[in-house]
Copies of this chain bind each other. A is one copy, B any other.
């Protein structure tokens, strides 16, 4: 408690060198003799010294901190999109390896990305997870551009926009739906927002549509059910399909949460999964393996995503050019699609 922290001057005195030399030695500057470096480290250890990061950050240009801003308010049960959880974990891990501290903040979706984290020199750059729709995204992005701090956003991948990193949504959906067709399914419902205001979901819809087309199946609007990322929405969407008398033998959902809701709704209506209806989701939440039947899904690679995000941000911080990244997905076959 009361013990005063030692400063680099204390180390200098103990090691018999100047304070400047201590600083150099501790930051592994090449311009310091092995002999002196050793003395400094020993003194530091002896006094239990560590650098005051605040002084360092004040003085140096780079701050070695990344801020992760997560938009919350997904729904009641899931204040944050569960997919973000392993993604955040991967970011924490990889950023840590790269020597970055990570500040994490939950934000109301309505809040501006730039308000809290702009300008304060808290972080060198921002990683953004989640936005409500494309308009919301654009508005927030503009706020960020104004403050000039580097940022990357997870989700949509825009050609030419280096700050965009996302899964290969179209391809992932294409593979999932192709698999369903290969299993003999012909009437495949699509659960999700296909509107252009949700580009990621739109991409998944495009993959869905392409798979149908290439297999000579026609698109049927009766099989489209709008829903957002929640179990309740998925259940409601399936209920709507059934109420309107749509016939379907498979469901492709744009996220695992609605897929799980869909399975539960189907089972409640006495339709067996996968015998009567195949179900495939998107994300591969860990809970996907806990449902009965276990959920087949399109896995998003959170490790690769985290690397891409942090690397992109790191390059932007260093003022290097950055390309948008599209992270490959992988189809995970469990029980819910039957084979």
Are A54 and B52 in contact, CB atoms less than 8 angstroms apart? no
Q: Which of A80-88, A193-201, A320-328 contacts B (4 or more CB under 8 A)?
A: A80-88
Instruction: Judge whether A286 is part of the interface by a CB distance below 8 angstroms.
Output: yes
CB pair A48 B287 closer than 8 Å: no
Q: Write the chain B residue with the least CB distance to A55.
A: B58
Instruction: Indicate if the CB atoms of B5 and A48 lie closer than 8 Å.
Output: no
Q: How many residues of A contact B (CB 8 A)?
A: 52
Residue of B54, B102, B118, B292 touching A292 (CB-CB under 8 A):
B292
Chain B residue, CB-CB nearest to A107:
B96
Q: Are B119 and A48 in contact (CB under 8 A)?
A: yes
8 A Cβ contacts from A89-121 to B = 89, 92-93, 96, 101-106, 118-121
B103 near A103 with CB under 8 A, answer: yes
Chain B residues with Cβ below 8 Å from A54 are 54, 57-58, 63, 121
Q: Pick the contact of A50: B52, B72, B104, B120 (CB < 8 A).
A: B120
| Complex-state Cα separation, A54 to B292, whole angstroms | 51
Tell me if A3 is interfacial: C-beta within 8 Å of chain B. Answer: yes
At the interface, yes or no: A148 with Cβ under 8 Å from chain B?
yes
Interface residues of A in 30-50 (CB under 8 A from B): 48-50
Apart from A72-B93, A101-B103, list 13 A-B contacts with CB within 8 A: A3-B148, A48-B119, A52-B58, A52-B121, A53-B122, A55-B58, A58-B58, A77-B286, A79-B93, A102-B103, A104-B104, A264-B292, A287-B287
Q: What would 24 A/B residue contacts be, using CB atoms closer than 8 Å?
A: A1-B319, A5-B119, A5-B121, A48-B147, A49-B119, A50-B118, A50-B120, A52-B58, A53-B121, A77-B289, A79-B89, A92-B105, A96-B106, A102-B105, A103-B103, A104-B104, A231-B289, A264-B290, A264-B292, A267-B292, A290-B290, A290-B291, A291-B291, A292-B292
